[in-house]
């Protein structure tokens, strides 16, 4: 009787403790400016358990996100009939409402503190242009005022759906497509005319001409920046439209989000490595407008899905300077294109260490597509004839078929890079006699399409089959959860995110 009473008391204590824990746990939250990882959850049902397990094991707080316009989209886009929108818009088949609601529920259930982010809220005409950049196509774009108005209306729809969930806490703002690269090559006459066409151009000169901007790097070295008159004009003409529209996007966030949220500036979607002076100008102009920037993501020379192959010394100096500039405005650097040549290489030997040293162990680091890449590798390893292996082969065949057709008809996704990748794949198949190579570039760069391929009824069969297989096959689910957790732990340990919950 006594033992039974003790057992009941212990059970009641446990129930009360769990209720107290649930009441006291605040998640999702706005993290503020803090050293942490940010992870894309393309298939929330499949990736969240492993990611959150790793966060919990290492007492790590982090961001869960999807890229707007590309990976996710409003429900009306996801539920639209096939062909109404570009295949690259909302290509995960996961709506804004779905990923945010699932992430919030999973995090609360697991007792993990997270931040939920709208990544790459972009002023863009086409999501295909962004995907081409990911695939290695370097281009510059022009957007009309009408295009901007249309893009801003779409952003309003995205933000309204995000806010309707009650859990969005962070936005990454991207106006890179409005950068005027032609300013770098303008002759003096055209440059003067373009600069004097900017409202308030005299005040711009006053802010920078004969002024010294000093920042201190982690090594203790100071870096001084002075702007010549021609430099001011070129940088202003190059970035003014991007800055003005960034302010308009920020106001949309402000008007529609009735609670505290954070802001990151995506500065990486460019064909060139970011010039420190230009980043300083950009941040200073946002500061002049009262826009509080938590993070900025410059182009530091990383390429998507590739290990960094440049000099680590150059990377250190580049990142040290940019980090010091960001800190001058109360911000940290955010690193995009964080995955490498395989799911397990990071960005290559020595890169994590270099970033940590150059930033003083204060940074944000983003990855997303690497988890789907890992999933495909897991499926590929399963025995021939198994459901997982069959699903992998069906996905592979469909992706290659789609790419071939795109090349034949010179479709929207077509590029010479795509054509070269297909040629390389065909040569590999001829040598290996294996048409299902998960590490072939053509598959690594275009396998994402599988989640948005539709059948005659408008359903996304591959997305459905992946989720069903994950839920039905316990042994496979355990493998996926373990490897997703291991991949996340590698990121956490490699970039020293362990115990960062203590920084809150």
Please determine, for residue 128, whether its predicted confidence score (pLDDT) is greater than 80. no
Structure confidence at residue 8 (pLDDT):
52
Query: How confident is the model over 430-471, as pLDDT tens digits?
Result: 999 999 999 999 999 999 999 999 999 999 999 999 999 999
Structure confidence at residue 2 (pLDDT):
46
Length of the chain: 504
- CA pair distance 396, 175, nearest whole angstrom: 34
Structure confidence at residue 140 (pLDDT):
58
Sign of the Cα pseudo-torsion (217, 220, 221, 226, in order): positive
Question: In the block, which residue shows the tokens 């490897």?
Answer: 483
Please determine, for residue 300, whether its predicted confidence score (pLDDT) is greater than 70. yes
- CA pair distance 447, 68, nearest whole angstrom: 19
Domains (ranges, CATH) in the chain? 25-368 (3.20.20.380), 374-472 (no CATH)
Using a pLDDT cut of 70, give the percent of the chain over it.
93
Which has the closest alpha carbon to 179: 265, 119, 267?
Answer: 267
Structure confidence at residue 269 (pLDDT):
86
- CA pair distance 46, 474, nearest whole angstrom: 12
Structure confidence at residue 3 (pLDDT):
41
Please determine, for residue 9, whether its predicted confidence score (pLDDT) is greater than 60. no
Specify the DSSP class assigned to residue 449: G
- CA pair distance 421, 443, nearest whole angstrom: 9
Residues near 155 by beta carbon (within 8 Å), at least 6 away in sequence: 68, 121, 123, 249, 252
- CA pair distance 51, 371, nearest whole angstrom: 10
Please determine, for residue 249, whether its predicted confidence score (pLDDT) is greater than 50. yes
How are beta strands 212-216 and 222-226 bridged, if at all?
antiparallel
Query: How confident is the model over 193-203, as pLDDT tens digits?
Result: 999 999 999 99
Answer whether 163's CB lies under 8 Å from 97's CB: no
- CA pair distance 391, 480, nearest whole angstrom: 15
Which tokens hold the place of 457? 């009824």
Q: Please list the residues that pair with 373 across neighbouring strands.
A: none
HEC secondary structure over 281-315: HHHHHHHHCCCCCCEEEECCCCCCCCCCCCCHHHH
- CA pair distance 143, 147, nearest whole angstrom: 6
Residues near 116 by beta carbon (within 8 Å), at least 6 away in sequence: 28, 63, 64, 65, 100, 103, 104, 167, 168, 169, 170
Please determine, for residue 71, whether its predicted confidence score (pLDDT) is greater than 90. yes
Structure confidence at residue 129 (pLDDT):
72
Answer whether 394's CB lies under 8 Å from 462's CB: yes
Query: How confident is the model over 138-170, as pLDDT tens digits?
Result: 555 678 999 999 999 999 999 999 999 999 999
Measured in degrees and rounded to the nearest 5, phi and psi for residue 501 equal: -60, -25
Instruction: Count Cβ neighbours within 10 Å for each residue of 432-451 and write b for 16 or more, e otherwise.
Output: eeeebbbebbbbbbbbbbbb
101 exposed, middle or buried (CB, 10 Å; 0-12, 13-18, 19+)?
Answer: middle
Which tokens hold the place of 97? 């409402």
Structure confidence at residue 126 (pLDDT):
81
Structure confidence at residue 68 (pLDDT):
97
Q: Cis peptide before 28, with omega less than 30 degrees from 0?
A: yes
- CA pair distance 229, 216, nearest whole angstrom: 24
Structure confidence at residue 441 (pLDDT):
96
Sign of the Cα pseudo-torsion (494, 496, 499, 501, in order): negative
Structure confidence at residue 134 (pLDDT):
61
Give the mean model confidence (pLDDT) for residues 475-486.
99
């Amino acid at each position: 009787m006594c033992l039974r009473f003790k057992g009941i008391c212990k059970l009641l204590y446990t129930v009360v403790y769990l209720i107290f824990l649930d009441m006291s746990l605040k998640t999702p939250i706005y993290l503020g400016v803090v050293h942490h990882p940010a992870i894309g959850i393309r298939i929330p049902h499949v990736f969240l358990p492993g990611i959150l397990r790793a966060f919990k094991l290492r007492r790590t707080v982090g961001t869960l996100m999807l890229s707007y316009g590309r990976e996710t989209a409003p429900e009306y886009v996801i539920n639209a009939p096939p062909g109404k929108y570009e295949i690259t818009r909302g290509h995960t088949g996961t709506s804004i409402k779905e990923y945010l609601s699932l992430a919030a529920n999973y995090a609360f259930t697991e007792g993990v503190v997270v931040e939920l982010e709208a990544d790459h809220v972009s002023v863009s005409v086409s999501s295909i242009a962004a995907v081409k950049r990911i695939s290695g196509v370097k281009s510059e774009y022009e957007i009309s005022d009408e295009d901007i108005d249309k893009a801003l209306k779409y952003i309003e729809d995205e933000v309204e759906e995000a806010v309707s969930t009650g859990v969005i806490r962070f936005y990454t703002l991207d106006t890179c497509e409005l950068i005027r690269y032609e300013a770098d090559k303008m002759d003096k006459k055209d440059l003067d005319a373009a600069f004097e066409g900017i409202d308030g151009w005299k005040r711009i000169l006053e802010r920078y001409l004969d002024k010294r901007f000093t920042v201190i790097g982690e090594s203790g070295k100071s870096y001084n920046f002075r702007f010549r008159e021609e430099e001011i004009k070129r940088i202003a003409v190059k970035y003014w439209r991007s800055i003005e529209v960034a302010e308009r996007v920020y106001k949309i966030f402000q008007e529609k989000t009735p609670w505290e949220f954070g802001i990151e500036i995506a500065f990486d979607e460019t064909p060139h490595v970011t010039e420190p002076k230009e980043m300083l100008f950009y941040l200073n102009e946002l500061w002049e407008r009262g826009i509080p920037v938590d993070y900025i993501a410059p182009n530091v020379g990383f390429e998507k899905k590739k290990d960094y192959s440049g000099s680590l010394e150059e990377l250190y100096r580049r990142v040290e300077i940019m980090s010091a500039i960001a800190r001058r405005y109360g911000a940290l650097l955010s690193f995009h294109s964080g995955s490498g040549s395989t799911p397990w290489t990071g960005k290559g030997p020595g890169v994590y260490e270099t970033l940590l040293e150059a930033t003083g162990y204060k940074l944000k680091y983003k990855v997303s597509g690497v988890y789907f890449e890992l999933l495909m590798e897991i499926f590929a390893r399963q025995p021939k004839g198994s459901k997982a292996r069959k699903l992998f082969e069906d996905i592979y065949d469909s992706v290659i078929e789609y790419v071939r057709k795109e090349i034949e008809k010179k479709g929207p996704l077509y590029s010479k890079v795509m054509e070269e990748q297909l040629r390389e794949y065909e040569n590999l198949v001829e040598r290996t006699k294996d048409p299902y190579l998960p590490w072939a570039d053509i598959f690594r760069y275009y396998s994402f399409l599988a989640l948005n391929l539709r059948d005659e009824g408008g359903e996304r069969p591959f997305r459905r089959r992946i989720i069903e297989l994950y839920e039905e096959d316990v042994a496979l689910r355990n493998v996926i959860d373990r490897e997703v957790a291991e991949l996340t732990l590698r990121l956490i340990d490699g970039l020293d995110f362990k115990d960062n919950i203590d920084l809150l």
